[in-house]
Amino acid sequence: MILFGHAAFQYLNAACELGLFDLLAEKGPLTGEEIRTALDLEERACDILLLGCAALRLIHRDGPVCRLSAEIGELMDRGEWTHIVNTVAFEQHIVYEGQADFTESLRRNTNVGLRRIPGEGKDLYPRLAQTPRLEEVFYRYMRSWSQLANRHLVRHLDLSRSRTLLDCGGGDAVNAIALATANPQLRVTVLEIPSSVPVAEESIRQAGLEDRITVRGLDLFADPFPTGFDCVLFAHQLVIWTPEENTALLRKAHDALAPGGRVAVFNSMSDDSGDGPLIAALDSVYFAALPAEGGMIYPWSQHEASLRTAGFTGLRRIELPTWTPHGILIGTKAI
Provide the binding-site residues for ligand SAM, judged by CB under 6 A. 125, 142, 146, 169-171, 174-175, 191-193, 196, 219-221, 235-237
Q: How far is the CB of 117 from ligand SAM (least distance, A)?
A: 13
Q: Which is nearer to ligand SAM, 21 or 287 (CB)?
A: 287
Q: How far is the CB of 170 from ligand SAM (least distance, A)?
A: 5
Q: Which is nearer to ligand SAM, 105 or 175 (CB)?
A: 175
Q: How far is the CB of 324 from ligand SAM (least distance, A)?
A: 12
**Where would I find the H helices in the chain?**
5-18, 20-27, 32-39, 43-55, 70-77, 81-90, 96-98, 102-108, 124-128, 132-147, 150-156, 174-182, 197-207, 243-256, 278-289, 300-309
The DSSP symbol for 193 reads -
Strand bridging mode 229-235 / 257-268: parallel
Q: Which is nearer to ligand SAM, 88 or 238 (CB)?
A: 238
Q: Which is nearer to ligand SAM, 72 or 188 (CB)?
A: 188
Q: How far is the CB of 259 from ligand SAM (least distance, A)?
A: 25
Q: Quick one: CA torsion of 119, 120, 124, 127, rounded to 10 degrees?
A: -50
Distance of CA 62 to the CA centre of its chain: 37
Q: Which is nearer to ligand SAM, 192 or 201 (CB)?
A: 192
Q: How many angstroms separate the CA atoms of 211 and 174, rounded?
A: 16
Q: Which residues contact 34 (CB under 8 A, 6 or more apart)?
A: 27
> Cα–Cα distances in Å, from 298 out to 107, 229, 253, 274?
19, 26, 19, 9
Strand bridging mode 65-68 / 59-62: antiparallel
Q: How far is the CB of 314 from ligand SAM (least distance, A)?
A: 24
Local structure of 197: helix, strand or coil? helix
Q: Which is nearer to ligand SAM, 23 or 204 (CB)?
A: 204
How many helices (H) and strands (E) would you count in the chain? 16, 10
Smallest CA-to-CA distance from 320 within 273, 285, 268, 263 is with 268
Q: How far is the CB of 73 from ligand SAM (least distance, A)?
A: 27
Q: Which is nearer to ligand SAM, 97 or 123 (CB)?
A: 123
Q: Which is nearer to ligand SAM, 34 or 123 (CB)?
A: 123
Q: Which residues contact 9 (CB under 8 A, 6 or more apart)?
A: 88, 91, 92, 96
Q: How many angstroms separate the CA atoms of 313 and 330, rounded?
A: 9
Q: How many angstroms separate the CA atoms of 168 and 175, rounded?
A: 11
For ligand SAM, the nearest residue by Cβ is: 171
Q: How far is the CB of 248 from ligand SAM (least distance, A)?
A: 11
Within 10 A of 208 (CB to CB), how many other CB atoms are there? 10
Q: Which is nearer to ligand SAM, 101 or 192 (CB)?
A: 192
Q: How far is the CB of 174 from ligand SAM (least distance, A)?
A: 5
The DSSP symbol for 93 reads I
Q: How far is the CB of 234 from ligand SAM (least distance, A)?
A: 8
